[in-house]
A and B are shown apart, each in its own frame.
Chain A
Amino acid sequence: MPAPPPPPPAPGSLGPLTVQGAPRDRGRHGRRPRPGAPHRRWERSVDDRLLGGVAGGIARRLGVDPTLVRIGFAVVTVSGGLGAALYLGAWLLMPLQGRDESIGTRVAKDRQGIVLSLAFLPALVILLVVGGALHAGVVTSAAWPVFLCAAGGVLLWRNVDADERDWLRHAAAPVLRLGVGTRTTRRLFVLRLAVGVGLVLAGVALLTVHHTYVSMPRIFGGVVLLLVGAVVLFGPWWLRLARDLMAERQARARAEERADMAARVHDSVLQTLALIQRASGDPQRVVQLARGQERELRAWLFDGEIPGALDAGVTTLAAGVRAIAAEVEAAHGIVVDVVAVGDCPLDDRLRALLDAAREATVNAAKWSGAGSVSLFAEVEDSRVSVFVRDRGRGFDLDEVAPDRRGIAQSIQARMLRHGGRATIRSTSGEGTEVELTVAREALR
Chain B
Amino acid sequence: MSPPGAHDAPVPRVFLVDDHHLFRAGVRAELGDAVEVVGEADEVPAAVEMIIERTPDVVLLDVHLPGGGGQSVIDQVRQSAPDVRFLALSVSDAPEDVISVIRAGARGYVTKTISGTELVAAIRRVAGGDAVFSPRLAGFVLDAFAAMPSGVAPVSVDPELDQLSSREREVLRLIARGYTYKEVARELSISVKTVESHVSAVLRKLQLSTRHQLTYWATERRLV
Bound CA–CA A294/B179 (angstroms): 39
Among A337, A374, A433, which residue has the most Cβ atoms of chain B within 10 A? A337
B103 part of interface (Cβ distance < 8 Å)? no
Q: A339-B135, A341-B139 given as contacts; is B176 within 8 A of A376 (CB)?
A: yes
Q: A337-B135, A337-B136, A376-B139 given as contacts; is B178 within 8 A of A342 (CB)?
A: no
Check B173 against A378 for contact (C-beta < 8 Å): yes
Shortest beta-carbon distance from A57 to chain B in Å: 20
A433: B residues at CB distance < 8 A: 177
Query: Taking CB as reference atom, which chain A residue is nearest B179?
Result: A389
Shortest beta-carbon distance from A328 to chain B in Å: 15
A395 part of interface (Cβ distance < 8 Å)? no
- Which secondary structure dominates where chain A touches chain B? strand
A335 part of interface (Cβ distance < 8 Å)? yes
Q: Which of A387-442 contact B (CB under 8 A)?
A: 387, 389, 391, 433
Bound CA–CA A342/B177 (angstroms): 15
B113: A residues at CB distance < 8 A: 335
Bound CA–CA A337/B146 (angstroms): 21
Shortest beta-carbon distance from A287 to chain B in Å: 32
Check B143 against A374 for contact (C-beta < 8 Å): no
Shortest beta-carbon distance from B106 to chain A in Å: 19
Check B136 against A342 for contact (C-beta < 8 Å): no
Q: Which of B166-215 contact A (CB under 8 A)?
A: 173, 176-179
A341: B residues at CB distance < 8 A: 139, 142-143, 146, 176
B139: A residues at CB distance < 8 A: 339-341, 376
Shortest beta-carbon distance from A376 to chain B in Å: 4
By size class, the interface of chain B is: 10 to 19
Check B176 against A339 for contact (C-beta < 8 Å): yes
Query: Taking CB as reference atom, which chain A residue is nearest B142?
Result: A341
Bound CA–CA A391/B178 (angstroms): 9
Shortest beta-carbon distance from B23 to chain A in Å: 18
Bound CA–CA A341/B176 (angstroms): 9
Bound CA–CA A389/B135 (angstroms): 12
Q: A335-B113, A341-B139, A381-B147 given as contacts; is B176 within 8 A of A389 (CB)?
A: no
B126: A residues at CB distance < 8 A: none
Shortest beta-carbon distance from A104 to chain B in Å: 34
Bound CA–CA A171/B153 (angstroms): 32
- Which secondary structure dominates where chain B touches chain A? helix
Query: Taking CB as reference atom, which chain B residue is nearest A390?
Result: B178
Check B146 against A389 for contact (C-beta < 8 Å): no
Check A376 against B146 for contact (C-beta < 8 Å): no
B138: A residues at CB distance < 8 A: 339
Q: A339-B135, A339-B136 given as contacts; is B178 within 8 A of A389 (CB)?
A: yes
Bound CA–CA A337/B139 (angstroms): 11
Shortest beta-carbon distance from A382 to chain B in Å: 11
By size class, the interface of chain A is: 10 to 19
Bound CA–CA A272/B73 (angstroms): 50
B135: A residues at CB distance < 8 A: 337, 339, 374, 376
Query: Taking CB as reference atom, which chain B residue is nearest A433?
Result: B177
Q: A335-B113, A374-B135 given as contacts; is B146 within 8 A of A342 (CB)?
A: yes
A337: B residues at CB distance < 8 A: 135-136, 178
Query: Taking CB as reference atom, which chain A residue is nearest B136?
Result: A339
Bound CA–CA A435/B142 (angstroms): 18
Check B147 against A374 for contact (C-beta < 8 Å): no
B177: A residues at CB distance < 8 A: 339, 374, 376, 387, 389, 433
Bound CA–CA A169/B139 (angstroms): 33
B133-160 contact mask (Cβ, 8 Å, vs A): 1 or 0: 0011011001100110000000000000
B179: A residues at CB distance < 8 A: 389
Bound CA–CA A335/B177 (angstroms): 15
Query: Taking CB as reference atom, which chain A residue is nearest B93?
Result: A338
Among A339, A340, A342, A387, which residue has the most Cβ atoms of chain B within 10 A? A339
Bound CA–CA A387/B178 (angstroms): 9
B143: A residues at CB distance < 8 A: 341-342
Q: A337-B135, A341-B142 given as contacts; is B178 within 8 A of A376 (CB)?
A: yes
Q: Which of A117-135 contact B (CB under 8 A)?
A: none
Bound CA–CA A339/B176 (angstroms): 6
Query: Taking CB as reference atom, which chain A residue is nearest B141?
Result: A341
Bound CA–CA A337/B118 (angstroms): 16
Bound CA–CA A340/B113 (angstroms): 18
Shortest beta-carbon distance from A135 to chain B in Å: 56
Shortest beta-carbon distance from B14 to chain A in Å: 25
Bound CA–CA A340/B142 (angstroms): 9
A381: B residues at CB distance < 8 A: 147
Bound CA–CA A376/B143 (angstroms): 12
A374: B residues at CB distance < 8 A: 135, 177-178
B136: A residues at CB distance < 8 A: 337, 339
Q: A337-B136, A339-B135 given as contacts; is B142 within 8 A of A378 (CB)?
A: yes
Bound CA–CA A381/B147 (angstroms): 9
Shortest beta-carbon distance from B206 to chain A in Å: 15
A361-396 contact mask (Cβ, 8 Å, vs B): 1 or 0: 000000000000010101001000001010100000
Bound CA–CA A340/B135 (angstroms): 10
A300-327 contact mask (Cβ, 8 Å, vs B): 1 or 0: 0000000000000000000000000000
**Listed A/B pairs (14) with beta-carbon separation below 8 Å:** A335-B113, A339-B135, A339-B139, A339-B176, A340-B139, A341-B146, A342-B146, A374-B135, A374-B177, A376-B176, A376-B177, A378-B173, A381-B147, A391-B178
Q: Which 4 A-B pairs have the closest CB atoms?
A: A374-B178, A339-B139, A341-B142, A376-B177
Add 7 more A-B contacts to A378-B176, A389-B177 (CB < 8 A): A337-B136, A340-B139, A341-B142, A342-B143, A342-B146, A376-B139, A376-B177
